[in-house]
Amino acid sequence: AQSVAQPEDQVNVAEGNPLTVKCTYSVSGNPYLFWYVQYPNRGLQFLLKYITGDNLVKGSYGFEAEFNKSQTSFHLKKPSALVSDSALYFCAVRSPGSARQLTFGSGTQLTVLP
Amino acid sequence: DVKVTQSSRYLVKRTGEKVFLECVQDMDHENMFWYRQDPGLGLRLIYFSYDVKMKEKGDIPEGYSVSREKKERFSLILESASTNQTSMYLCASNLSRTGRVGNQPQHFGDGTRLSIL
């Protein structure tokens, strides 16, 4: 079985401050991990993914995520938040040994306050 | 740029109606997906298709069926709509030339907000 948890429904951060959106996962074997962002009334947009290699993955719009195998986490980070980063963020996981497709987390609403 | 187009942004139907949601992608992707999105539940996979006329059940297929007669088009069908099928429906696609399940990012349409009265 594969699952992903986003423990925070809502994250608020002041503009210019660093932001972190948390994600933990459970899979058999090494995971494939993804972050997506959803702006109001839009579909999801891909931000970044971890398949193999460096634990720090850089993605679109200045976002990055760190894969931590021992803590089974893949937290999304950005050094300096923008008001325009306010959106709904989804973490997703897939086990490479499985025929299952992606399993998504429940989402975290990020609000960046001016 | 990949474009995934869902035929309707908003749709209102009545209980018991047969409802069709259409999705078209323009990048020759092999895989196509239908999800429903509900607050606090994230995205849940209804069905996916890895080739024309091929389909596989996702996590919540009950009450739904799908059709993929052409590679670019994937339809979701609510056989007899019920109020608990009121939701946001998202279509997605990805490339995957190496097998059924790809590691490429999924590209999403803007969604259809369906209300069943």
User: What is the domain partition of chain B in residue ranges?
Assistant: 4-97+105-116
DSSP A34: E
User: CATH number of the domain at A3-113, please?
Assistant: 2.60.40.10
Interface residues of B toward A, Cβ cutoff 8 Å, are 4, 9, 33, 35, 40-45, 48, 58, 90, 92, 100-101, 103, 105-111
Cβ neighbours of residue B90 closer than 8 Å, sequence gap 6 or more: A43, A44, B6, B34, B35, B36, B37, B43, B108, B109, B111
Q: Which CATH architecture has domain B4-97+105-116?
A: Sandwich (2.60)
- pLDDT for the residue numbered A35: 97
Are the Cβ atoms of A43 and B109 closer than 8 angstroms? Answer: yes
DSSP B105: P
Work out the minimum CA distance from A34 to partner chain B, whole angstroms. 8
B86: confidence class by pLDDT, cuts 50, 70, 90: very high
B2: confidence class by pLDDT, cuts 50, 70, 90: low
Give the neighbor-by-neighbor strand order of the sheet with B19-25.
B4-6, B19-25, B73-78, B64-70
Between strands B10-13 and B112-116, the pairing is: parallel
Among A86-100, B67-81, B95-109, the range scoring the smallest mean pLDDT is B95-109
Contacts A59 to B, Cβ<8 Å: none
- pLDDT for the residue numbered A95: 80
pLDDT, one tens digit per residue, over A73-114 is: 999 999 999 999 999 999 999 887 666 688 999 999 999 999
Average pLDDT over residues B61-76: 96
Where along chain A do its domains lie? 3-113
Work out the minimum CA distance from B48 to partner chain A, whole angstroms. 9
Which residues are paired to A87 by β-bridges? A110
By CB atoms closer than 10 A (0-12, 13-18, 19+), residue B43 is buried
**Token duo for residue A91:** 């973490």
- pLDDT for the residue numbered A68: 95
pLDDT, one tens digit per residue, over A10-38 is: 999 999 999 999 999 998 888 899 999 99
- pLDDT for the residue numbered B57: 93
The residue with greater pLDDT, A52 or A48, is A48
pLDDT, one tens digit per residue, over B6-42 is: 999 999 999 999 999 999 999 889 889 999 999 889 9
pLDDT, one tens digit per residue, over B36-61 is: 999 889 999 999 998 898 899 999 99
